[in-house]
Amino acid sequence: MSNSMSHFELMTGDVARCKAFYGAVFGWSFDDASMPGYTLVDTGREPTGGIFAKPSEKAAPCMNVYFRVENIEQTLKVATQQGGKVLVPKTPIPGVGHFAMFADPEGVAIGIMQPNG
């Protein structure tokens, strides 16, 4: 399995404005019904994405990128051995798989995703 990008997320202060912007610029479509509080983004091909409202304690809107991995635990172990820091431990996504996040030694957040099956 390659470690290709598998998903992206836009954390934004204005979900409606974000959807209008990316819908107009890239022609993306959106599903607000499947996961309450989280908008699924259909880009027309892989990778897909999501949009969600920025929690008030976060400093600024941002984009998160997730890379597909075969083993989340092993990837987190190597990341911490190389000076990274776990931000979000292995977390289930019902019907999809698991995700986690870590920061690289410079503090850049990186997401990883291990699909079911």
Q: For residue 59, what are its two tokens?
A: 């400093």
CA distance 86 to 104: 9
Residue 82 lies in domain: 69-117
Q: Please give the tally of structural domains in the chain.
A: 2
Long-range own/partner contacts, residues 26-35 (CB < 8 A, 24 or more apart): none
Identify whether residues 59 and 73 lie together within a single domain.
no
3-state helix, strand, coil in the chain (%, to 5): 20, 50, 35
Beta bridge partners of 64: 9
**73 and 29 in a common domain:** no
Domain match, 34 and 82 both: no
pLDDT digits (tens, 9 = 90+) for 56-100: 876 788 888 999 999 999 999 999 999 899 999 999 999 999 999
pLDDT at 1: 52
| pTM over cut 0.85 | no
Same domain, 49 and 90: no
* CATH code, domain carrying 28: 3.10.180.10
